[in-house]
Amino acid sequence: MKSLSIAACFALMHAGAAMAAPAITYDCDTAASHFSELVLPAPGNSFTVTGQLQINQLPPFDKYAPITRLMVGPGDIVPGGDIPNWAGFSLNALPAKMVDKSVKDDKIMLQFLNWNAAHDRKTEDFKPFGFAKAGDKLPFTLTYDGAAVTLSVAGEKTSIPLKVADPMVRIVCSTGEFLYTDLRIEKAS
């Protein structure tokens, strides 16, 4: 009877360890002309990052436009440091009246997405896409397989070659409040 109890406890512990970790909520709120960065460990060289992203609010700004970026990069870079090789996407936002002078409402925002990458510190240019309304939750999936980052955001998909040692997931936010919900980083099977 005692061996059965020990076996049952071992099975329950193993099942609990195999269950998915709880999702992360990250409210990335930065003042105008400031930025913050969150560096999250990745479970090896092959993983998937999923979640939803939305803009909550934009502060008045003059120099730097509001932006958040989710990317994969090497793990040996200190937070805030220069990252030579990385790939991911960004969500950019502007008050609509900055683009269309006929808009008078300060709360109407223009949001757009970009694929982003740098190879040997040279950034790639990608066209913006995925215009969305303020408050919309944009679901995303980022998969890294050791050779490329495959991205899916707001119905758009791409793959960007990337090879980095000890990959980490980085979230950078500047000049606004961006909310990441249901954020999960899971080892690819």
How far does Cα 159 stand from its chain's mean position?
A: 15
- Looking up residue 48, the CATH number of its domain turns out to be 2.60.120.560
Higher pLDDT, 174 or 65: 174
Number of domains comprising the chain:
1
From CA 104, how far away is CA 27, in angstroms rounded? 28
Residue 164 lies in a domain: yes
Residue 140 lies in a domain: yes
Sign, CA dihedral 14-19-20-24, equals negative
Owner of token pair 């990337």: 162
Is the CB of residue 113 less than 8 Å from the CB of residue 139? no
Residue 88 lies in a domain: yes
Domain assignment of residue 57, given as a range = 22-187
> 112 pLDDT band (50/70/90 cuts)?
confident
Residue 30 pairs in a beta bridge with 176
> 134 pLDDT band (50/70/90 cuts)?
low
Q: Buried b vs exposed e over 144-165: b needs ≥16 C-beta within 10 Å?
A: beeebbebbbbeeebebebebe
* pTM assigned to the model: 0.82
- pLDDT value of residue 13: 38
Residue 107 lies in a domain: yes
From CA 141, how far away is CA 156, in angstroms rounded? 11
pLDDT one-digit tens code per residue, 68-97: 999 999 988 887 788 999 999 999 888 777
Let me know if 76 is exposed, middle or buried by CB neighbors in 10 A (0-12, 13-18, 19+).
Answer: exposed
